[in-house]
Amino acid sequence: MSNNQSNFRVSSWLTLGCIAFLQAVSASRSVFSACSSLMAQNYRISHVQLNNLIVASETGRLFGFISTAAAAYFPAWLILFIGLVFGLVGYGVQCLYIAHRFPALSYWQALLLHTLAGNSSCWINTYCQLLATRNFKDSYRTIIEITSTYSRLSGKILTSLVEGIEGRKGSTNSSIYLLLTCLVPAVAGLIVALVHISFNFREYEDSDVFPAVFVLVIATGVYAVIESVAPAFKLLSLQLRAVILVLVLTTPFTIALLTAVAHRFSDEKYHSQVMRKESCDSKPVKVSKEVHIAIGKGGEVDQKAGGEVDCNEKGLFTTGNEPGMKQLLLNVDFWMFYLVNACGPTLGMVYLNNLERITQSRSIGEASFLLEISAAFGFFGRIFFVMFHWYTREKSIIANPALTVLLMIPMPIAVFLLLDGNTCLYISTGILGTCSGAIIAINSTTTSELFGCKNLVVKQTIVQTNISLGTLLFGYLAAINYEREGAGNNSKFSSASAHTEFLFSKILVLAVEDYCPCVFLG
pLDDT recorded at residue 302: 35
**166: alpha, beta or left? (left if phi > 0; alpha if psi -120 to 50):** alpha
Distance CA 268, CA 359 (A): 60
Report d(CA 356, CA 354) in Å as an integer.
5
pLDDT at site 46: 86
- Binned at pLDDT 50, 70 and 90, residue 491 comes out as low
Listed range (13-17, 19-23, 83-87, 132-136) with the worst mean pLDDT? 132-136
Neighbour-count burial of 92, counting CB atoms closer than 10 A to its CB (0-12 exposed, 13-18 middle, 19+ buried):
buried
Confidence of residue 84 (pLDDT cuts 50, 70, 90): very high
- Per-residue confidence at 305, pLDDT binned at 50, 70, 90? very low
Domain assignments of the chain as residue spans, ordered by start: 1-260, 326-522
Asked if the model's pLDDT at residue 74 lies above 80, the reply is: yes
Output the CA torsion 395→334→416→486 (10° steps): 140
Partner residues linked to 204 by β-bridges:
136
Asked whether the predicted pLDDT for residue 199 surpasses 60, the reply is yes
Does residue 47 surpass a pLDDT of 90? no
260 pLDDT higher than 90: no
Portion of the chain with pLDDT greater than 70, in percent: 77
Question: What's residue 451's pLDDT?
Answer: 78
Residue 208's pLDDT is 62
Nearest to 303 by CA among 465, 160, 135: 135
The residue ranking higher by pLDDT, 63 or 419, is: 63
Q: Do domains 1-260 and 326-522 have the same CATH topology?
A: yes
Please report, as a single letter, which amino acid is at residue 227: E
**pLDDT: which is higher, 63 or 521:** 63
pLDDT over 80 (residue 82)? yes
Q: Residue 505 above 60 pLDDT? A: yes
On the question of pLDDT at 323 being above 80, the answer is no
More confident residue, 367 or 317: 367
Whether the per-residue pLDDT at 134 is higher than 70: the answer is yes
Q: How confident is the model at residue 56 (pLDDT cuts 50, 70, 90)?
A: very high
Q: Tell me how many degrees the CA angle 364-369-374 measures, rounded to the nearest 5.
A: 115
Q: Which residue has the higher pLDDT, 192 or 284?
A: 192
- pLDDT-wise least confident of 55-64, 201-210, 221-230, 456-465: 201-210
C-alpha–C-alpha distance, residues 444 and 324, integer Å: 18
Residue 40 pLDDT: 83
Q: What per-residue confidence (pLDDT) applies to 126?
A: 92
**3-class DSSP state for residue 204?**
strand
User: In terms of Cα–Cα distance, which of 487, 5, 432 is closest to 202?
Assistant: 5
pLDDT band at residue 430 under the 50/70/90 scheme: confident
What's the CATH superfamily of 1-260?
A: MFS general substrate transporter like domains (1.20.1250.20)
- pLDDT band with cut points at 50, 70 and 90 for residue 490: low
SS3 374: helix
User: Which residue intervals of 27-174 are DSSP H helices?
Assistant: 30-43, 47-60, 64-70, 76-98, 107-135, 140-148, 154-166
Does residue 440 register a pLDDT over 90? no
pLDDT of residue 312: 46
Lowest mean pLDDT of 137-141, 223-227, 471-475, name the range: 137-141
pLDDT given for residue 264 in this prediction: 65
What is the structure's pLDDT at 496?
A: 62
Give the pLDDT score at 274. 42
Whether residue 4 contacts residue 205, with contact meaning beta carbons closer than 8 Å, is answered with no
What does pTM read for this prediction? Answer: 0.81
Buried b / exposed e over 194-223, threshold 16 CB at 10 Å, is ebbeebebbbbeebebbebbbebbeebbeb
When pLDDT is averaged across residues 349-360 and rounded to a whole number, the result is 80
**Confidence check: pLDDT of 339 > 50:** yes
Nearest to 453 by CA among 305, 303, 320, 304: 320
Candidate CATH numbers 3.50.50.60, 1.20.1250.20, 3.90.1300.10, 1.10.3720.10; the one for domain 326-522: 1.20.1250.20
Kindly state the average pLDDT of the residues 400-429. 82
What local confidence, expressed as pLDDT, does residue 420 receive? Answer: 72
Write down the pLDDT at residue 281. Answer: 46
pLDDT at 123 exceeding the cut of 90: yes
Judged against a pLDDT cut of 50, whether residue 436 lies above it is answered with yes
pLDDT single digits (tens) 382-414: 888 888 888 877 777 777 888 888 888 888 888
Task: Give residue 164's pLDDT.
Answer: 85
CB 183 within 8 A of CB 84: no
A 10 A CB-CB count for 293 gives 14
